[in-house]
């Protein structure tokens, strides 16, 4: 019964999304205020019924209603309650329902917080959100209904959730990631609405900027969490594998980061308008593409998800309509935009353009690298693999100019910067970075590696550049502290964003160059020493979990005879799926992680272990966290909380052609 | 009937024996692995670690031979180790793998006509980007004189609505303005 | 810049997307985990392996060539090998020359028992305990079947079970054409393959 309610609610939500697509746009065409105003209640309706449907599915999982096919395939009576809930989005169908819930939530938030937007614009934006919804609701109802029944052959118990996903990190990783993916649909909707209206002025940039940053925060956190999860759950010690599924989330992130910076220019200077719109379309298109790649099975990935040509075809057709349609609209409308802003080669604008170019290049590297194996094979040229060695090398080359510009850009003025003004500061910061970048590894590390030095120099350069910029801002003020406070949250958001990036670079550099990895065999009672740490293999325990049995190795770690911590690493055998999962033992520290993963039993009472010494690995995720906090500061900035303002200055400056007469 | 019982009994014995044999075999392999990963030089160890993290396990879903525990991955790991210790260079080992498993086996594809787009595509984008930016700034510099009238109109607007302009700009812009003033542009 | 050129430039993202979509669509219907052999068109690598039945006897690459043949990689731990075994027996009846490569089996005994129980379709049985030849051939699982011509050159590799459908669509023509090239007879039922394909 509950399942039928869920199914029915989904149909109603779908109906709402259709109405949301149609009515406001008719209203806009006929300049009928009442019809345009329908957009908001329709959006709320879509959200509420999606929520009901989602709750119904959650209920099905919680009470283990195996008459629902999706529950039977992805849950089990022995599965702990928390994981029953995560199983809701552990499956193909459920994850799409989550996607829709997130989409509807963004739309509802938009409906609530868009009161200050012109009604025509708000109606268009919400209609675009509805349009995206229509595609997904149809996709679910036609190919992936989460409420399909197993009746009359109701199984006694379910197939259980993939053990890989039975982890606390997996509870919030998918929702965060989806909040990010789908969040870009808001920027997308703004861009399409602006294109439809033919007005690409600074105001749409200002309106969509906080939404874009919000989506970016979620995506950043989602990716970081996924990386952290892979680090401790897969047992290989890696934190990024350049797997197609990871790439699928990385591409929208790169495009979204470019969009965020480009929006800043469009908002403040009225430049790059058509470019920014393209980025907004690209960010969401790449989110959709990512979903397609993950869900259609066209690529080989460690994450084996549902593969089904029918679903793939539907998704691809949907992609064609959404992406193809918006790019066509873009070609027609944006090509008529005339931009007349002025800036010189050495200016903040060009710095940000440089940032955009490099981020787009990086996106292309990931896109081509992810898709080329497929194309190569389809053309009959044979199978190739593209992975870490390729991406690592290319990304290093991209990061160098990127970081060099990043350290400098905030100091550079809009329009025109004279080099002599900055010369002293820049040279000092750079000299410091180079000096310390050499000195630190030479003092603290056993060997100096060229790449480590390069990475450190770049990171320190970004840090010193950021500090120098702050100093410049308050240099002539009497009360420096007040001056810093007065800079505003948006400015501090930028500072944190850049500092986070530097912190991440440090983490990546250190772990790539100074990591130590050992394959060890130990019997209980044995010890192994590495990097001054001693690992004592105390004993092996057999542990009975709710839906698994596990061999748990107890490892006591000591240094200089003093115990630091006892960690546990397990090999869990999950009954239902008959899969073995590794749980790693971690001794976490600010400057290094000690990582112990249990391997196979070797027969004579000894076990294989993989022991890693991972310097600065935490900094990678800390960097992502700092960046996100920066984003959070930015969207709470004063100017986004204030009432709608005139944007006549900007529109004048940009001499925007008014394509749509009704808008004037 | 009896024949079937005997048959199934025999089958069970065979299965049991073979599984024992299998476990012994795999133990041996694993033993060899862990006991054997010792190197004479650090360079050898680095080469080994690097290679096993770059060679793809042909049998598995997108995993390197370092990550996978599949028997084939173990074999390949063992072979990479043996060749490394025997003094083969990185290129030689990769060649060895490629002639057997094709380009597929290395996570960095070779540079060829069919893969050149991996480097050329982004490279071209970078080039176009840089050329466009330089072009734009050049063109604007040339157009500078012509836009005086627009500048005037813009100024009027700015003067018209100082409060609106101020509030629409962030603190950042404000501080930039103070900066400009103080640094005497 | 005139408007036409500008619109064309702005259409480029759409064109790029459409090109990509074509490949994505075709990709939907092919198996991404399928691999071609790197050794097609090359000689079978040299080897020295013991016979499955008589451990003292060893074979080397000289057993390859002289006539077209199949090289079938199998093991008792491989369920698909069981599935294809009957068809291999049938091929043998039809006069197809097959060499068996027993790949990293649980034990010699298990393999011998299997062949005694299910019949032995192989003219020669190689026992590759450590997977030495298999690694040189680029084998990544069992079963795999290689089609080899009279000069010992690998013509084709099939991954997965050999059955009537695979034989008819992918292998038979290659094999019998190689037979014609080696001056050997072709059974009546396969004549059409040779006649049709001879002109190709």
Shared domain for B97 and B149, answered yes or no, is no
Spans in chain A with pLDDT lower than 50? 304-306, 643-664
Residue length of chain B: 185
SS (H, E, C) A101-134: HHHHHHHHHHHHHCCCCCHHHHHHHHHHHHHHHH
pLDDT exceeds cutoff 60 at B19: no
**Predicted pLDDT of residue A213:** 95
Shared domain check, C142 and C180: yes
Does residue B111 lie in a domain region? no
**Listed residue (A131, A180, A151) closest to A68, CA to CA:** A151
Q: Is residue B47 located within the same domain as residue B128?
A: no
Residues C21, C73, single domain; the answer is no
Q: What residue ranges do the domains of chain A occupy?
A: 1-166, 524-605
B105 touches A at CB < 8 Å:
yes
In a domain, B20, yes or no: yes
Digit-coded pLDDT (tens) for A278-301:
999 999 999 999 888 887 777 765
Q: Are residues C17 and C53 in the same domain?
A: no
* pLDDT in the model for residue C32: 63
Instruction: Decide: helix, strand or coil at residue A364.
Output: helix
* Alpha-carbon B134 to chain mean position: 31
Residue A365: per-residue pLDDT: 96
Of A619, A514, A625, A627, which Cα lies nearest the Cα of A239? A619
For residues A456 and A440, is the Cβ–Cβ distance under 8 A? yes
Task: Collect all residues of chain B within an 8 Å Cβ-Cβ radius of residue A248.
Answer: none
Question: How many whole angstroms separate alpha carbon A225 and alpha carbon A246?
Answer: 12
Same-domain pairing of C188 and C156: yes
pLDDT tens across C31-89, in order?
A: 666 666 677 888 888 888 999 888 889 898 888 888 899 999 998 888 888 888 889 99
- pLDDT for B155 beyond 70: no
pLDDT of residue A321: 93
Residues C101 and C193 in one domain: yes
Q: Are residues C176 and C100 in the same domain?
A: yes
Q: Report the phi/psi class of residue C41: left, alpha or beta, with left for phi > 0 and alpha for psi in -120 to 50.
A: left
* C-alpha distance from residue A149 to each of A91, A309, C136 (Å): 15, 22, 50
Count the domains in chain B: 2
A393 touches chain B (CB under 8 A): yes
Which residue, B56, B83, B105, sits at the end of a domain?
A: B105
Residue of A nearest to C13 (CA): A327
How many A-C residue pairs are in contact by the CB < 8 A criterion? 75
- Looking at the structure, tell me whether residues B132 and B43 fall in a common domain: no
As a whole number of angstroms, the distance between CA A234 and CA A162 comes to 13
Nearest to C28 among A312, A334, A371 (CB): A312
How many Cα atoms within 13 Å fall on the side-chain side of residue A482? 4
State how far the Cα of C162 lies from the Cα of B93, in Å rounded to an integer.
Answer: 32
- Asked whether residue C58 falls in the same domain as residue C138, the answer is yes
Task: Quote the ipTM score.
Answer: 0.85
C29 CB neighbours in chain A (<8 A) are: 309
CATH for C101: 3.40.30.10
Same domain, C25 and C109: no
Nearest to C10 among A319, A331, A375 (CB): A331
The reply to whether C52 and C10 lie within a common domain is: no
State which residue of chain B sits closest to A471, comparing Cα positions.
B179
Range of the domain at B22: 2-105
Domain assignment present for residue C95? The answer is: yes
CA distances to A503, C92, C156, C187 from C193, in Å: 66, 19, 17, 11
Determine, yes or no, domain membership for C40: no
Strand order in the sheet with C144-148: C124-128, C98-103, C69-74, C144-148, C154-159
Check whether residue B76 and residue B140 sit in a common domain: no
Q: Which helix (H) or strand (E) holds A139?
A: helix A119-143
Phi, psi of A344 (to 5 degrees): -100, 175
Beta bridge partners of residue A611, listed in sequence order: A518, A596
C168-174 contacts, C-beta under 8 A, 24 or more apart: C171/C70, C171/C145, C171/C147, C173/C197, C174/C147
Contact assessment for residue A468 and residue A591, using Cβ atoms and an 8 Å cutoff: no
Q: Which chain B residue is nearest to residue A351, measuring alpha carbons?
A: B133
CB A485 within 8 A of CB A595: no
Residue B37 lies in a domain: yes
Which chains have at least 3 CB atom pairs separated by less than 8 Å from chain B?
A, C
Whether residue C89 is found in the same domain as residue C139: yes
User: Considering the domain boundaries, does residue C36 fall inside one?
Assistant: no
Q: Which of B105, B129, B160 is where one domain is finished? A: B105
What pLDDT is attached to residue B38?
80
Residue B175, pLDDT score: 38
Q: From residue A135, how far is each of A17, A21, C16 by CA, in Å?
A: 9, 11, 23
Test the B interface: residue of C104, C127, C140 with most B CBs within 10 Å? C140
Domain check: are C81 and C13 in the same one?
A: no
Domain tally for chain C? 2
What are φ and ψ of residue A599, in 5° steps?
A: -105, -150
3-state secondary structure of A252: helix
For B82-126, write each residue's pLDDT tens digit.
899 999 999 999 999 988 888 889 999 988 888 899 999 999 999
Inform me whether the pLDDT recorded for B8 exceeds 70. Answer: no
CATH code of B92's domain: 1.10.8.640
- C43 in any annotated domain: no
Provide the Cα torsion A445, A449, A453, A456; round to 10°.
Answer: -60
Assess whether C13 and C66 both reside in one domain. no
CB nearest to A374's CB, from C10, C21, C23: C23
Given a contact as 3+ CB pairs under 8 Å, which chains touch C?
A, B
Residue B103's pLDDT is 87
Pick from C35, C104, C106: which is nearest to B58 by CB? C35
Burial class (CB in 10 A: 0-12, 13-18, 19+), A25: buried
Q: At which of B105, B125, B146 does a domain end?
A: B105
Domain that holds residue C145: 48-198
- Distance in angstroms (rounded) separating the CA atoms of residues C13 and A331: 8
Tell me: the pLDDT tens digits for A62-78? 998 898 888 888 888 88
**What's the whole-number mean pLDDT along residues C165-179?**
87
- Across residues B51-72, what is the average pLDDT? 85
């Amino acid at each position: 019964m509950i399942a039928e309610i869920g199914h029915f609610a989904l149909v109603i939500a779908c109906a709402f999304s259709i109405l949301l697509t149609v009515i406001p746009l008719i209203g806009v065409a006929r300049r009928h205020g009442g019809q345009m105003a329908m957009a908001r209640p329709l959006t709320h309706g879509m959200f509420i019924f999606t929520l009901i449907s989602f709750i119904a599915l959650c209920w099905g999982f919680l009470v283990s209603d195996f008459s629902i096919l999706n529950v039977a395939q992805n849950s089990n009576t022995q599965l702990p309650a928390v994981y029953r809930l995560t199983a809701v989005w552990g499956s193909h169908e459920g994850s799409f329902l989550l996607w829709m819930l997130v989409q509807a939530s963004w739309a509802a938030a938009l409906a609530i917080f868009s009161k200050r937007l012109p009604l025509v614009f708000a109606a268009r934006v919400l209609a675009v959100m509805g349009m995206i919804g229509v595609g997904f609701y149809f996709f679910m109802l036609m190919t992936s209904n989460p409420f399909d029944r197993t009746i009359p052959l109701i199984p006694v118990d379910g197939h259980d959730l993939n053990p890989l996903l039975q982890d606390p990190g997996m509870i919030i990783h998918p929702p965060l990631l989806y909040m990010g993916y789908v969040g870009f649909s808001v920027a997308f909707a703004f861009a399409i609405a602006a294109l439809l209206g033919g007005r690409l002025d600074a105001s749409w940039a200002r309106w969509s900027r906080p939404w874009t940053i919000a989506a970016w925060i979620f995506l950043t956190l989602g990716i970081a969490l996924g990386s952290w999860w892979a680090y401790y759950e897969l047992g290989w010690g890696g934190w990024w594998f350049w797997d197609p599924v990871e790439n699928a989330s990385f591409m929208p992130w790169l495009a979204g980061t470019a969009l965020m910076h480009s929006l800043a220019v469009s908002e403040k200077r009225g430049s790059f308008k058509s470019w920014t719109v393209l980025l907004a379309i690209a960010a969401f298109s790449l989110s959709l593409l990512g979903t397609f790649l993950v869900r259609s099975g066209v690529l080989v990935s460690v994450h084996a998800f549902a593969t089904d040509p029918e679903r793939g075809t539907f998704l691809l057709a949907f992609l064609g309509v959404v992406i193809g349609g918006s790019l066509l609209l873009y070609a027609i409308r944006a090509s008529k935009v005339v931009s007349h802003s002025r800036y010189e080669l050495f200016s903040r604008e060009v710095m940000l353009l440089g940032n955009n170019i490099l981020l787009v290049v990086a996106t292309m590297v990931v896109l081509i690298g992810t898709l080329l194996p497929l194309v190569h094979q389809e053309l009959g040229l044979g199978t190739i693999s593209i992975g870490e060695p390729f991406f690592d090398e290319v990304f290093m080359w991209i990061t160098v100019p990127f970081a060099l510009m990043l350290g400098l850009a905030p100091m550079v003025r809009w329009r025109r910067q004279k080099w002599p003004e900055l010369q002293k500061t820049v040279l000092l910061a750079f000299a410091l970075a180079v000096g310390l970048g050499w000195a630190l590894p030479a003092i603290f590390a056993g060997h100096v590696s060229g790449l480590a030095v390069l990475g450190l120099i770049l990171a320190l350069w970004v840090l010193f550049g950021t500090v120098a910029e702050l100093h410049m801002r308050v240099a002539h003020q009497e009360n420096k502290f007040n001056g810093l406070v007065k800079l505003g949250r948006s400015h501090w958001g930028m500072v944190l964003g850049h500092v986070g990036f530097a912190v991440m670079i440090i983490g990546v550099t250190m772990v790539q160059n100074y990591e130590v990895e050992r394959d060890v065999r130990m019997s209980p009672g044995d010890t192994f020493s590495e990097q001054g740490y001693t690992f004592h293999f105390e004993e092996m325990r057999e542990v009975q979990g709710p839906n698994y049995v596990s061999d748990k190795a107890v490892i006591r770690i000591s240094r200089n005879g003093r115990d630091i911590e006892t960690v546990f690493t397990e090999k869990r055998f999950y009954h239902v799926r008959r899969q073995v999962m590794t749980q790693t033992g971690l001794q976490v520290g600010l400057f290094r992680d000690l990582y112990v993963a249990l391997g196979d039993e070797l027969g004579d009472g000894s076990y294989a272990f993989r022991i890693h010494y991972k310097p600065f690995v935490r900094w990678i995720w800390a960097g992502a966290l700092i960046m996100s906090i920066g984003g959070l500061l930015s969207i709470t900035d004063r100017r986004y909380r204030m009432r709608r303002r005139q944007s006549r200055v900007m529109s004048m400056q940009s001499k925007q052609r008014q394509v749509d007469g009704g808008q004037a | 009937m009896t024949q079937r019982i005997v048959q199934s009994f025999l089958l069970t014995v065979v299965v049991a024996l073979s599984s024992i044999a299998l476990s012994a075999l795999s133990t041996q392999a694993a033993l060899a692995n862990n006991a054997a990963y010792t190197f004479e030089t650090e360079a050898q160890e680095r080469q080994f670690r690097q290679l096993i993290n770059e060679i793809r396990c042909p049998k598995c879903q997108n995993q390197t031979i370092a990550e996978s525990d599949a028997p084939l991955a173990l074999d390949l790991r063992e072979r990479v180790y043996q060749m490394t210790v025997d003094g083969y260079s990185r290129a030689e080992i990769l060649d060895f793998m490629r002639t057997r498993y094709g380009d597929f086996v290395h996570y960095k594809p070779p540079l060829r006509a069919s893969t050149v787009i991996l480097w050329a595509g982004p490279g071209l984008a970078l080039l176009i980007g840089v050329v466009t930016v330089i072009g734009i700034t050049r063109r604007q510099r040339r157009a500078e004189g012509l836009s005086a009238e627009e500048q005037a109109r813009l100024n009027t607007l700015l003067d018209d609505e100082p409060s609106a302009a101020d509030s629409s700009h962030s603190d950042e812009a404000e501080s930039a303005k103070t900066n400009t003033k103080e640094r005497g542009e | 810049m005139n408007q036409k050129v500008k619109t064309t430039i702005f259409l480029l993202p759409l064109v790029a997307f459409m090109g990509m979509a074509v490949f994505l669509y075709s990709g939907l219907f092919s198996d991404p985990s399928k691999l071609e052999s790197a050794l097609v068109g090359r000689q079978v690598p040299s080897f020295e392996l013991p016979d499955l039945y008589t451990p003292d006897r060893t074979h080397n690459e000289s057993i390859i060539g002289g006539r077209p043949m199949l090289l079938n990689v199998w093991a008792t731990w491989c369920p698909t090998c069981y599935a294809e075994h009957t068809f291999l027996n049938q091929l043998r009846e039809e006069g197809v020359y097959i060499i068996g490569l027993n790949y990293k089996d649980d034990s010699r005994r298990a393999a011998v028992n299997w062949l005694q129980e299910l019949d032995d379709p192989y003219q020669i049985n190689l026992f590759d305990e450590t997977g030495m030849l298999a690694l040189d051939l680029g084998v990544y699982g069992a079963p795999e079947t290689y089609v080899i011509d009279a000069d010992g050159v690998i013509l084709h590799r099939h991954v997965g079970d050999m059955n009537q459908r695979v034989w008819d669509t992918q292998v038979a023509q290659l094999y019998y054409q190689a037979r014609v090239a080696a001056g050997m007879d072709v059974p009546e039922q396969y004549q059409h393959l040779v006649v049709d394909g001879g002109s190709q």
